[in-house]
Structure formats: structure tokens, C-alpha cells
Amino acid sequence: MYKSNLLASTLRHASVGHDNKVFATLSGSGETLTNGKLWDNAHKVAGALVDAGVVPGDRVAAQVEKSLPALELYLGTILAGGVYLPLNTAYTARELDYFLENAEPKVFVCASDRAGSLERIAAKAGVSRVFTLGSDGLGSLTDAVEAAGPIPRAVARGEDDLAAILYTSGTTGRSKGAMLTHGNLASNARVLTEVWRFTDDDVLIHALPIFHTHGLFVATNVALVAGASLIYHTKFDAAAIFADFARATTLMGVPTFYTRLLDLPELTKEAAAGMRLFISGSAPLLAETHVQWQQRTGQAILERYGMTETCMNTSNPYDGPRKPGTVGLPLPGVEVRIVDENGSALPDGEIGGIEVRGPNVFKGYWRMPEKTAAELREDGFFITGDVGMIDEDGYVSIIGRSKDLIISGGFNIYPKEIELVVDAVDGVKESAVFGLPHPDFGESVAVAVVPEDGADLSVEDITSAVAPQLARFKHPRHVVFLDALPRNAMGKVQKNQLRETYADVFTK
């Protein structure tokens, strides 16, 4: 019996018969990639991966700069039946070491300038093949593609089979690999395409990184499912994105995109008139930004809410009111409930933990059954760690987080991971990392450090110790030295107190 590859066929369907249509135009150079070429190239990449030994379920890890070939690598992995594991380009060798050891990928694809230094780490983790993306360097994927030839047909994969693992940091400082299935990604992309009314007439400005849910599974997958086109920016540049408003129809971004675009005096109703939809997510959009955007462009930003573990959960409606400060209604097929500390459902209007269930919810954490059991209830509801309420119209608002998480410019940062590094610095007794309001990134990282008795520590001692170990976006941007951390009677560090004391460090 012929079985298809669920995700690949979902992403390919709308473009069959439209092979000459441009799928992506590279901002700046104007280079284009047609639908036909994208899928031909993806089949070739799949051929090279199969040739390298990838069998269904094998992980293909990638730490590659945003480019068109990087999209082909993603699709090629799916066609080959592999499990795509994208990694933030900012991760240091130390961080990569953990991901490769934990995920044990068969293949690791990296930038040619890092291949030398990463090969040893990959070998230690048992990776069979290291490729570089592009034609330069030893072990280039392009050469392997030439040698192998395309696979004739996508490897069969069904609803419950893994399509991707995305790492997300955890409260303990150890990242967890969220296992996403073909069914999760395909169903979410189809639902979003429908509720946001994407069609093959759409031109989406794609300026997000493609190693996270937002840029890869929301922006890219939705454009593919709809048969739409992308204007593909390899880096965020407000002026370049604004210039594209004249030829695009939609934009997806984190709130920082919108606050930076608002800084452009030329942002007017006329300039945005050709755009039909502005979508924001990954971090809270201030109601103030929503209102300002509407005043300047005449259009209401549509805010939605998602997570690595669940893809998208809720969205403000396309036609109905887009309520500022809310993340909208549960998506079709997705259930959202608010619970008390015992996990019992609360009535509308009451504040509690947000839990979600549906075809979008992941399968669990890679090789962490205890973590999976702790966050995924037996009845299928996932405990998001977000705190919120549902109003009388069914709109969800996120009011806070029970998890100790900082979201900086849409990137998640768990304090524990930074505290472990700071605590290991010579002369540090203990530390507490906390998030503070930041005008550009929404939140940014601060650290309170308690030196050991007699230790003479400088800010530079802390920042230079952190720099080689953690990705740049996790680095504390404010360091204070204290004699002791504020604690409650139970001995728990009072981060709220630290957040209040230093609230205006980044905004004054």
C-alpha cells in the first residue's frame, strides 16, 4: 500500500501545477526560487541524507545561517523521513555540545566557518556525517547532493511520526527537546492558513529566524500550505521591511519588529495600504503598541499565542474584534482551559494556569519521560506555565508566567541556565537572574551577584566569564552586586523584589 509523507504532502499540495511560480525572493539581491526548484532541490537534499545513512526517525541537526538552501535542508529532511533539529546560530560550542550529545543526530549540518571547531564535538556525540551548507568547505552538502541524486519519492511518514525536535530551555537549566510530529505541524499549518485567510495571492515578508517555531512552522509552513510567496530577509532590518510593504500583503513578527517599525516616521496609512495583515506573537505585545500601530497604519495587529511544545494555540479573529492585550480565541480544534493549583478547571473570568489540548500538542520531551509526565497530563492537556484568564467572549489573556522565564526580543531565556554559569565564576557565592522591562526587546536580562566574603569582583569578571559559554542574547546586560539576595521566610529568592527595585534600569 502506498503511504504518503504527511507533512511533505501537506506543504507541497498547493504548489503542484505551479512550479514556475516564485516561492521566495531574497530581499536585497532579488534572487528568486520557484516552487519547482525548491522541491527539486529538497528531493536532492533528501537523496544526500539517505545516502549518508539517514533512515526514518534519524535526527538531522542544523546550525546554519538563514538562507534559501537552509529551507531546502528542512524540507529535504522531512522528505527523507528524518527529524529536523534546527539550532540557534548564536549557540556557542558549549551549548551545541549538549544538544548533539542529547539528540544523537545522524547528520549535523553547519556553516563552513564553524565546521573545523564543531567536528570534534560532533564526533564525540556519535554523529556519522558533518556537512557544511553551501558549496565551499570540506564535506559540502552541495557536493553530496551531486553525488547522490534525488530520492524518487518522499519516505512515508504518518501523523504520529516525528518531524522535528526543537530544544526549549527549562527551569533546571537543562534544555528539553520538544518532539513534534507530522500531525502536529501539518494540522497547525492548515488551521492557521484557514483562519488567517492565506491564499496563493499572498506575499509574506519573512524576516524571522528559521530555527524556531515562529519563523519555520508558522511563517514558512503557512506560506507553503497556501501556495503563497515569501520576501525572504536573512536579517531583520526595519527600513528594508518597510520598503517591502509596497509589494507584500502580510507580515509576521515578534513585538520588537513592530516597535522598531513604529520608529520610522514614514510609517503611515498610505504606506501600509497594500498590506492586509500584520501578525504578532512569541512575546507579549503591549496594548500601547497595538493602539499606536492602529493609529499610524489604520490596521489592527492580529496577536496570537503559541509555544514550541504546542505550535499555535490561540489567535485573535480575522474578521471579529482584535482585542489589544489579549491573544484571542482558541484555534479550531484546540481546547484551552484555565486551572487552579490543583489542576481543576476554573470558570471564565478567573485567573489561573493555562492548559491546552489538541492535535497541535507535542508528543513529549525527547528522552525525558519524567519531564513529559510532569507537564503533559494524562487527559492530554499540556501545562503551559503561562498564567491567564478567559473573558466573557472567550478571549484568552496572558497575565503572567508561573515559569521563571525571560522573553527577550522573542527569544526565551531561563534564568537557571545563566545562574549556573555565573555561580561557577571564582569569587561568586550565589546569583539571581531576572528579567527587566526593555524598550527594544520587551524584557532583558539582569543579574544580582553576591560575592564570597572578601572577593573583589567587577562587572567585567562576570560578563567575560559568561561570554564564551552562552549565546549572546542570554548575556546579562545589567550586573549588580549585593551583600545578600532578598529571600522570604522559606528561604526562596524574591525575584519580584529584584524586578521592582531595578525596574527602570533599561528604560530610564
Residues that bind ligand AMP (CB under 6 A): 168, 213, 281-284, 303, 305-308, 327, 384, 386, 398, 401, 407, 412
Binding of ligand MLC by 215 (CB under 6 A): yes
| Residue with nearest beta carbon to ligand AMP | 308
Beta partners for residue 336, in sequence order: 356
Chain centre to alpha carbon of residue 147: 33
d(C-alpha 352, C-alpha 341), whole Å:
8
At residue 36, the 3 state secondary structure works out as: helix
Q: 473 or 481, CB closer to ligand MLC?
A: 473
Q: 39 or 167, CB closer to ligand AMP?
A: 167
| Residue with nearest beta carbon to ligand MLC | 409
Amino acid symbol at 102:
N
Residue 166 CB, shortest distance to ligand MLC, in Å, is 8
d(C-alpha 340, C-alpha 246), whole Å:
48
**Which residue in 76, 183, 227, 281 binds ligand MLC (CB under 6 A)?**
281
Site residues (CB under 6 A) for ligand MLC, limited to 43-82 = none
CB 324 within 8 A of CB 299: no
Binding of ligand MLC by 213 (CB under 6 A): yes
d(C-alpha 231, C-alpha 274), whole Å:
15
The mark string for 466-505 relative to ligand MLC (x by CB under 6 A, - otherwise) is ------xx--------------------------------
Contacts of 80 (CB under 8 A, 6+ apart): 45, 46, 49, 50, 54, 60, 151, 155
Residue 164 CB, shortest distance to ligand AMP, in Å, is 13
Amino acid symbol at 427:
G
The mark string for 243-272 relative to ligand MLC (x by CB under 6 A, - otherwise) is -----------x-x----------------
CB 135 within 8 A of CB 399: no
Q: Which does 401 bind (CB under 5 to 8 A by kind): ligand AMP, ligand MLC, none?
A: ligand AMP
Binding of ligand MLC by 323 (CB under 6 A): no
At residue 191, the 3 state secondary structure works out as: helix
DSSP class of residue 271? T
Q: 69 or 215, CB closer to ligand MLC?
A: 215
Residue 205 has φ and ψ, to the nearest 5°, of -80, 115
d(C-alpha 385, C-alpha 363), whole Å:
17
Q: 81 or 170, CB closer to ligand AMP?
A: 170
Beta partners for residue 352, in sequence order: 388
Binding of ligand MLC by 314 (CB under 6 A): no
d(C-alpha 326, C-alpha 314), whole Å:
10
Q: Which does 398 bind (CB under 5 to 8 A by kind): ligand MLC, ligand AMP, none?
A: ligand AMP
Binding of ligand MLC by 442 (CB under 6 A): no
Footprint of ligand MLC on this chain (CB under 6 A)? 208-209, 212-215, 235-236, 254, 256, 281-282, 306-308, 408-411, 441, 472-473
